[in-house]
Chain A
Amino acid sequence: MRNPQLNKHGELIHLLSIEGLPRAVIHQLLDTAGSFLSVNDREVKKVPLLRGKSVFNLFFENSTRTRTTFEIAAKRLSADVINLDIAASSTTKGESLLDTIANLSAMHADMFVVRHSESGAPYLIAQHCAPHVHVVNAGDGRHAHPTQGLLDMYTIRHYKQDFSKLTVAIVGDIVHSRVARSDIHALTTLGVPEVRVVGPKTLVPGDLKEMGVRVCHDMAEGIRDADVIIMLRLQNERMSGAMLPSAGEFFKNYGLTQHKLALAKADAIVMHPGPINRGVEIDSSVADGRQSVILPQVTFGIAVRMAVMSTIAGNTA
């Protein structure tokens, strides 16, 4: 079966997951993002590529930051942006997902940016929308968060240039993290030789090895000589039962402090998808420290989302 994100010429028409994307497509998106970064330095911070197009932000699950960056990106491309907070809308009145999409399509939507708590919801929408409509997955369940994965790759390429010699450690709550899954697919596709996932057994299951990563339950082993450390947020809202003894215990073992960071390479960068929990997964002195690139990630995220939206809008199904 053909990858539903690509048309018959292998061009990207939806962005649903990084899994299965060819390396060349990823690099092309990152190159395009690079050219949008300089738009921010212009007197007029707007280009007309999506002029006359309507982008619907469909957030079935709350997110201020991701929705805002998608909104800024779409507006910099001159699109009209409609934000729908579906969590508090028709679905509570019993309307099905596909009925919602059919109604919004009747309002002449050109692109849906979808966040949903169910894995696969953006796929379902992509399969049922009109051929001229494009879908971007802004995070679905535990499955994927491809624009976060791409902006993480942009950040790594910006600071480290070459992927082929890197050691990247992803630390924390891997099991609940769609960011981790998207990062792992992207890093392995781009040829990173060593990807480590680090955390307690309850949050880092051993079967992750099948994704081509090294599983470490010991923090020191996990971040030793790493070039890049990606810290994940402890997702308290997704945890049920006793997965963790306490946040304090987690910080003691896996929280990134200056002391632990010293085990990584001297020029290692520290990333985090945000929002950060200071004193839970990352110490303030590291989050605000010289090796932190957490705020540049946010800036790059806008350029990456501009690249994704303009690329898919320019390709036909």
Chain B
Amino acid sequence: MSTLHLNAEALYSDLASGVRGLLRPDTALVGIWSGGAWLAERLQNDLKLGEHGVISSALHRDDFGSRGLTAGADHTRLPFEVEGRHILLIDDVLYTGRTVRAVINELFDFGRPASVTLAVLVDRGGRELPIHAAYSAARIAVPAAQRLSLARDEAGRFSFNIKEGD
């Protein structure tokens, strides 16, 4: 594991202002488990927003047949009515778009939102589905063999992890 020279804290500040620009009066923030959930939690505090939600892709993944089920994977907590709400999804890294696809299906199991938009810390390209982020704090190229993810230390500060292979 190595640390990429990407300043996650600086990117977070950019994300916070980007998210501010996307907010409507009744927008609900929903963080994608797990990195996106940390971001949403901090954004809720910093931007003084209403209670955020957390959503997991586990029950709608398209690789269930090959990877099976992750135990206790249902982290979805949506403490508000989804029906008719403007939902802003938050994630750390946008890559193939498959997680976002799964999460949108998960969201619709709870009701019909008025709209769904996506803001991410990093867009690493490599999309396999027509998914688009309304805001990304950085666009970077990462070799396909590497796995990029957000880490959070005990003080709540963010950094990036890169793992070789899968």
Contacts and interface: CB of A to CB of B under 8 A. Distances in A.
A39 B74 CA distance: 9
Contact of B59 (A34, A43, A49): A49
B67 interface: yes
- Of A31, A34, A47, most buried by chain B (CB within 10 Å of CB) is A47
A70 interface: no
A47 B60 contact: yes
Contacts of A44: 108-110
Interface in B55-81: 58-60, 64-65, 67-69, 71-74, 76
A34 B72 contact: yes
Contact of A42 (B68, B69, B110): B110
Interface residues of A, number: 21
A310 B76 contact: no
Contact of A35 (B67, B72, B105, B108): B72
A48 B105 CA distance: 10
- Of A43, A310, A315, most buried by chain B (CB within 10 Å of CB) is A43
A311 B58 CA distance: 13
Contact of B74 (A38, A48, A311, A315): A38
A28 interface: yes
B68 A31 contact: no
- Of B58, B71, B109, most buried by chain A (CB within 10 Å of CB) is B71
A307 to B, nearest CB: 8
B111 interface: yes
A11 interface: yes
Interface of B: 58-60, 64-65, 67-69, 71-74, 76, 82-83, 105, 108-111
Interface of A: 11, 28-29, 31-32, 34-36, 38-39, 42-44, 46-49, 310-311, 314-315
28 contacts: A11-B68, A28-B71, A29-B71, A31-B72, A32-B69, A32-B72, A32-B73, A35-B73, A35-B74, A38-B74, A39-B74, A42-B110, A43-B82, A43-B83, A43-B109, A43-B110, A43-B111, A44-B108, A47-B59, A47-B109, A48-B60, A49-B64, A49-B69, A310-B69, A314-B64, A314-B67, A314-B68, A314-B69
